[in-house]
Amino acid sequence: MKKYTIISNEDAPHESYERIAEDFNGTWDGIEMSVDSDDMKLKITSFEYMEGMYVAHLQLHSNTQLIYSNVPNKDRNFVILRIGYSGSYSKKDKFRRFNHDGIFLYNANQLFNIEYPFQISCQWVTIRFPLEAFEFFDEGGDSKFKELLSEKGDWFHYFTLTPKIEGYVNELVKASSNKTKRKFSYFSRALDILGALKEKMEKGEMTKSNIKIHPEDFSSMVLLKDKILSDFTEPPNLNDLSFELGMSISKLNRNFKAVYQLPILQYFNQHRTEETYRQVKYSDKSLTEIADDLGYSHVGHLSRTFKKHFGYAPSSIRGTLQ
Q: How far apart are CA 244 and CA 4, in angstroms?
A: 24
Mean of the pLDDT values across residues 276-282? Answer: 84
pLDDT reported for residue 321: 42
Evaluate if residue 153 carries a pLDDT over 90.
Answer: no
Residue 172, C-beta contacts closer than 8 angstroms, at least 6 positions apart = 55, 57, 125, 185, 186, 189, 190, 193
Please write down the long-range contacts of 242-250, taking CB distance under 8 Å and 24 or more positions apart: 245/220
Distance from C-alpha of 77 to C-alpha of 136, rounded to nearest angstrom: 14
Rounded distance, CA 37 to CA 23, Å?
Answer: 11
Structural domain boundaries of the chain?
Answer: 3-210, 215-317
What percentage of the chain has pLDDT greater than the value 70? 90
Using a pLDDT cut of 90, give the percent of the chain over it.
42
Asked whether 115 and 71 are in contact (CB, 8 A), the reply is no
pLDDT at 212: 67
Beta bridge partners of 41: 36, 61
Return the higher-pLDDT residue of 6 and 155.
6
Q: Would you state the pLDDT for residue 90? A: 32
Backbone angles phi, psi at 214, to 5 degrees: -60, 140
CA distance 46 to 15: 12
Residue 127 has a pLDDT of 96
| CA dist 170 → 87, 95, 164, 212 (Å) | 13, 10, 10, 30
Decide which of 221 and 244 is more confident.
244
With 50 as the cut, is the pLDDT of residue 100 above it?
A: no
Query: Which pairs count as long-range contacts for 134-141, CB under 8 Å and 24+ apart, including other chains?
Result: 134/79, 134/194, 136/50, 137/191, 137/194, 137/195, 138/198
- Span 223-238, average pLDDT: 86
Of the candidates 151, 103, 110, 144, the one whose C-alpha atom is nearest the C-alpha of residue 127 is 103
Average pLDDT on 141-157 reads 80
- Would the pLDDT of 10 be above 60? yes
Average pLDDT over residues 195-221: 74
Q: Is 115 helix (H, G, I), strand (E, B) or coil?
A: strand
pTM for this structure?
Answer: 0.73
Inter-residue contact 17 to 9 (CB < 8 Å)? no
pLDDT the model gives residue 205: 64
Taking 90 as the threshold, does the pLDDT of residue 303 lie above it?
yes
Q: Which of the four pLDDT bands, split at 50, 70 and 90, describes residue 80?
A: very high
Domain 215-317 is of which CATH architecture?
Orthogonal Bundle (1.10)
Per residue, the 3-state secondary structure of 95-113, as one string, reads CEECCCCCEEEEECCCCEE
The Cα 166–Cα 70 span in angstroms is 27
**Average pLDDT along the chain:** 84
Name the residue among 274, 271, 276, 275 with its Cα closest to residue 315.
276
Q: Is the per-residue pLDDT at 42 higher than 60?
A: yes
Q: Coil, strand, or helix at residue 44?
A: strand
CB 290 within 8 A of CB 283: yes
pLDDT at 314: 93
